[in-house]
Chains A and B, each alone.
Chain A
Amino acid sequence: MTSAQIEIQLIAALVAIACALPGTFLVLRKMAMISDAISHAILPGIVLGFFITHDLNSPILIVLAAITGVITVVLVEFIQKTGLVKEDTAIGLVFPALFSIGVILIAKNANDVHLDIDAVLLGELAFAPFDRLLIGGTDFGPKSLWVISCILLISLILLFLFFKELKLSTFDKGLATTLGFSPIILHYGLMTVSSITIVGAFDAVGAVLVVALIIAPAATAYLLTDDLKRMLVLSCIFGVLSAILGYWIANFLDASIAGSMTTVLGLVFLLVYLFAPKQGVLSNFFKERQQRIEVSLLVFLLHLQNHTEEKERHVNHLREHINWHKVQAKTVLELASKNNLVKISENIVSLTDKGQEFTDEALKYITTNKVTAIEELKNRFFLFRG
């Protein structure tokens, strides 16, 4: 690896972490789309800042852009509070307006300078190592590395200090108010940090793709954990992983770094969404299927217990009378025999002693509505699950 490559990956990883931290709280607050609004609406702030400083990494530019970001949030909430439009509509009204002001400003005044809409929208990480921080002729590394490091450090300090407050006001705004932690201060604090982070990250991934870095890692982590701290850590891991992997894929394909980073983020989410052990699509599918079969089994056993007459216990009766499909009847019958709950002789099904015992106990729990006890019962009696 060349030093430029290392620098690019370092910047990408730090940007990913800086985005994942506020992203986790935005996702939990169901405010993910406000990051989209901020990321677009900061454009006029960036442009104005650039006119003043002629430097995309200047602190003044970052401050101006962050202020525009907070103004976006205020405007969205103001429009929403009138009660005439819903939040998503308010977001959709505010950010294109601000964004278009930025576009016009660039078109009218910045044609001859190094600021084009592509760079703002998509970023160009590959150029980041060329813009060096030189103090008294000494090279201190790429400027954007310093910028994002400072932003990340501020984020981390704030998160460390106000973790408890952020958690409380995200979970229960009402309680936060009554305990004297102003949710409004915390809300605008989070919005300010988000705005600053988006401005800092736009150099790397641009104003549009930064949304992916904010939302995707948090959404992925949310599928895997029940613990807020772990969710924060996982978000960072997913962000960094996608950033580095994305960089190498871009390198290999000779494509846009930001584009392939975002693609990897999407793929990682898709994988977790499908295969997450507790809440993934596949695991849910199998869990539901198992539940369905086991409930049918219980219905079947109760039926056997209720009926001593042979015609009610004939194998074919299951299909005809209980109104099951052939496949399901077969699956249930097989499961029952595998677990030694029933025996079949000459196509007549009857409960074994074990089956009798299981059914009696299950019936007791069903009538007293003890769902968890039924699960324990299954664990005790079943050799094979549905």
Chain B
Amino acid sequence: MTKKHPAIQIDDLTVAYDYKPVLWDIDLVIPDGVLMAIVGPNGAGKSTLIKAILGIIEPIAGSVQVFGEPYKKQVDKVAYVPQKGSVDWDFPTTALDVVMMGTYGSLGWIKRPGQKEKKAALEALEKVGMLEFKSRQISQLSGGQQQRIFLARALVQSASIYLMDEPFQGVDATTEKAIINILKELRQAGKTLIVVHHDLQTVPEYFDWVTFLNVKGIASGPVKDIFNDDNLTKTYGINYKVAVNK
């Protein structure tokens, strides 16, 4: 990391489900320290891109580098906030326990979490305003609270890069504000944040970097330079105003 590597560098990445490409020849450089939105229509491959970066999905071509090295060597530098719907919330466990799972990566195989990990988890819970719910069974939490738990779990990983798959999905305005404030705080602390985002209206307010994606990469750069009619039309195939108002 002493050398000046971008946070993430993607070269010629192609991902296919059943031989049908969902991401086609993506080249993308994400600089260190940006708060970036990935936008694009449904089926554009936004979640797939994140999963490919994390190695959850094997690409059929291309490579991903995290700070100049393959992801597998940088596992501890990357935290992931999956879509809320990706897990079964009826699982018999508490909010605190889910947040503790974020510490498992640094523990490695076999070693158990102890007081140090518990303390980190409690701090993360406090940060997302969920401390009072620490002993709550996770199915007893509202959608917004579940999202905060996932965020807290990523926070305890104390990573350099955070990948988030629609963290604002199904949360109320208060939670959305709370989450974006934490994201901005993280960026100020020099972290890189990559967020799959749906609400085009809030892009200029929340983010400083944006990637337009629709199976192919359309454009990527600072929001103030490239968040414009032209790129939105290229990505969504319809007029910008229509896209924003959707």
* Segment 37-74 of B: residues with Cβ below 8 Å from A: 51, 54-56, 72
Question: When the two chains form their complex, are residues A178 and B104 in contact, meaning their CB atoms are under 8 A apart?
Answer: no
Give the contact stretch, choosing among B109-117, B204-212, B233-241: B109-117
Question: When the two chains form their complex, are residues A180 and B94 in contact, meaning their CB atoms are under 8 A apart?
Answer: no
| A226 to chain B: closest residue by CB | B137
Question: When the two chains form their complex, are residues B91 and A170 in contact, meaning their CB atoms are under 8 A apart?
Answer: yes
In-complex Cβ contact of A227 among B94, B98, B109 (8 A): B94
- A167–B94 Cα distance when bound, in Å, is 12
Tell me, yes or no, whether A179 is within 8 Å of chain B by CB: yes
In-complex Cβ contact of A171 among B55, B88, B105 (8 A): B88
In-complex Cβ contact of A178 among B55, B94, B112, B113 (8 A): B55
Residues of B within 8 A of A170 (CB): 91
* Segment 217-247 of A: residues with Cβ below 8 Å from B: 222, 225-228, 230-231
In-complex Cβ contact of B92 among A172, A177, A225 (8 A): A225
- A155–B20 Cα distance when bound, in Å, is 42
Residues of A within 8 A of B144 (CB): none
* Binary flags per residue of A166-186, CB closer than 8 Å to B gives 1, else 0: 011011101101111100000
| B137 to chain A: closest residue by CB | A226
- A181–B104 Cα distance when bound, in Å, is 9
| A176 to chain B: closest residue by CB | B104
Measured CB to CB, the closest approach of chain B to A87, in angstroms, equals: 16
Question: When the two chains form their complex, are residues A226 and B101 in contact, meaning their CB atoms are under 8 A apart?
Answer: no
| A179 to chain B: closest residue by CB | B105
Given known contacts A162-B110, A174-B80, A180 and B93 CB-to-CB distance under 8 angstroms: no
Residues of B within 8 A of A114 (CB): none
Tell me, yes or no, whether A113 is within 8 Å of chain B by CB: no
Residues of A within 8 A of B153 (CB): 175
6 example contacts (A-B, Cβ-Cβ < 8 A) are as follows A161-B110, A164-B113, A171-B93, A174-B86, A226-B137, A227-B94
In-complex Cβ contact of B93 among A167, A175, A178 (8 A): A167
Residues of B within 8 A of A172 (CB): 82, 86-87, 101
In-complex Cβ contact of B91 among A171, A177, A180, A181 (8 A): A171
How many chain A residues touch B (Cβ–Cβ < 8 Å)? 27
Tell me, yes or no, whether A105 is within 8 Å of chain B by CB: no
Question: When the two chains form their complex, are residues B93 and A177 in contact, meaning their CB atoms are under 8 A apart?
Answer: no
* Segment 101-128 of B: residues with Cβ below 8 Å from A: 101, 104-105, 107-113
Question: When the two chains form their complex, are residues B137 and A178 in contact, meaning their CB atoms are under 8 A apart?
Answer: no
Question: When the two chains form their complex, are residues A175 and B80 in contact, meaning their CB atoms are under 8 A apart?
Answer: yes
Measured CB to CB, the closest approach of chain A to B192, in angstroms, equals: 16
Given known contacts A179-B104, A181-B109, A226-B137, A174 and B92 CB-to-CB distance under 8 angstroms: no
- A230–B137 Cα distance when bound, in Å, is 13
Given known contacts A172-B101, A174-B80, A231 and B56 CB-to-CB distance under 8 angstroms: no
- A83–B17 Cα distance when bound, in Å, is 11
Measured CB to CB, the closest approach of chain A to B141, in angstroms, equals: 12
Q: Which residues of B contact A (CB under 8 A)?
A: 18, 51, 54-56, 72, 75, 78, 80, 82, 86-88, 91-94, 98, 101, 104-105, 107-113, 137, 153
Question: When the two chains form their complex, are residues A222 and B92 in contact, meaning their CB atoms are under 8 A apart?
Answer: yes
Question: Other CB < 8 Å A-B pairs besides A167-B101, A174-B86, A226-B92, 5 of them?
Answer: A162-B110, A167-B93, A179-B75, A227-B92, A228-B91
Residues of B within 8 A of A165 (CB): 104, 109-110
Residues of B within 8 A of A250 (CB): none
Measured CB to CB, the closest approach of chain A to B194, in angstroms, equals: 13
| A161 to chain B: closest residue by CB | B110
Question: When the two chains form their complex, are residues A227 and B104 in contact, meaning their CB atoms are under 8 A apart?
Answer: no
- A83–B112 Cα distance when bound, in Å, is 38
- A163–B104 Cα distance when bound, in Å, is 12
Q: Which 6 residue pairs are nearest across A and B when measured between Cβ atoms? A: A179-B105, A226-B137, A178-B80, A178-B54, A180-B75, A171-B91
Measured CB to CB, the closest approach of chain B to A223, in angstroms, equals: 10
Question: When the two chains form their complex, are residues A164 and B86 in contact, meaning their CB atoms are under 8 A apart?
Answer: no
Residues of A within 8 A of B137 (CB): 226
- A168–B98 Cα distance when bound, in Å, is 9
Residues of B within 8 A of A226 (CB): 92-94, 137
Question: When the two chains form their complex, are residues A174 and B56 in contact, meaning their CB atoms are under 8 A apart?
Answer: yes
Residues of A within 8 A of B54 (CB): 174, 177-178
Question: When the two chains form their complex, are residues A164 and B55 in contact, meaning their CB atoms are under 8 A apart?
Answer: no
Question: When the two chains form their complex, are residues A174 and B82 in contact, meaning their CB atoms are under 8 A apart?
Answer: yes
- A226–B137 Cα distance when bound, in Å, is 6
Residues of A within 8 A of B87 (CB): 171-172
Measured CB to CB, the closest approach of chain B to A374, in angstroms, equals: 15
Tell me, yes or no, whether A28 is within 8 Å of chain B by CB: yes
Residues of B within 8 A of A231 (CB): 92
Residues of B within 8 A of A180 (CB): 72, 75, 105, 108
